[in-house]
Amino acid sequence: MKFSIDELAKNNRGSLGNDVDVTVFRLIRFMDLERYLGKAANNIFYECGKTLGRDLNINSIDELVKFCKVYKICRAEIVSEDPLRIRIYECITCSGLPNVGEPLCYFEGGFIAGCLENILNKRVRAKETHCAGLGNEFCEFEIKIL
């Protein structure tokens, strides 16, 4: 089942509205998918994020930053242009989580990569180098243009 973003934005939640606590997102995001998918789970999160990023047809980095802010995914900024590095603060997935010795934001990395593929019209890989899961105060993605 696939819905457009306009279809997904419509709801009949008259008294509850559009907002959902970030905890609910995280409960869904951190469901134990590894049990069913094994170690491929993180790659699947990345690929799903990438597909979403491509499907949204975001046409500039400014639009990407704005989208993240409007939907309260995170606050994003470019910290380096060559090589391209994108830092995000207040990440919906990991902000405030403990250091678990590994990065957590595969979905976000894929999302950024998918958006950048449209913007740059090139194949792109985003690797998370900083994350709350690694003990950092922000997430940072190193962008490789393939």
Number of residues that bind Zn ion (CB under 5 A): 5
Q: Looking at the chain, how many residues does it have?
A: 146
Choices 33-41, 73-81, 101-109, 119-127 (CB under 5 A): range interacting with Zn ion? 101-109
Residue 111 CB, nearest distance to Zn ion (Å)?
12
Buried b (16+ CB within 10 A) or exposed e, 27-49: eebeeeeeeeeeeebbeebbbeb
Distances in Å between the Cα of 106 and the Cα atoms of 19, 40, 121, 128 are 23, 11, 21, 8
| 142: three-class secondary structure by DSSP | strand
Q: Is 139 in the site for Zn ion (CB under 5 A)?
A: yes
Task: Check residue 86 for interaction with Zn ion (CB under 5 A).
Answer: no
Query: Which candidate, 95, 96, 64, 94, places its Cα nearest to that of 78?
Result: 64
Q: Does 76 participate in binding Zn ion (rule CB under 5 A)?
A: no
Q: Judged by CB under 5 A, which of 65, 76, 92, 105 binds Zn ion?
A: 105
Q: Which two tokens stand for residue 43?
A: 């790659």
Q: Looking at 84, 126, 131, 143, which residue binds Zn ion (CB under 5 A)?
A: 131
CB of 2 to Zn ion, least distance (A): 26
* Interface segment toward Zn ion; rule CB under 5 A; list 26-34, 35-43, 112-120, 125-133: 125-133
- CA atoms of 131 and 109, how far apart (whole Å): 11
Residues that bind Zn ion (CB under 5 A): 91, 94, 105, 131, 139
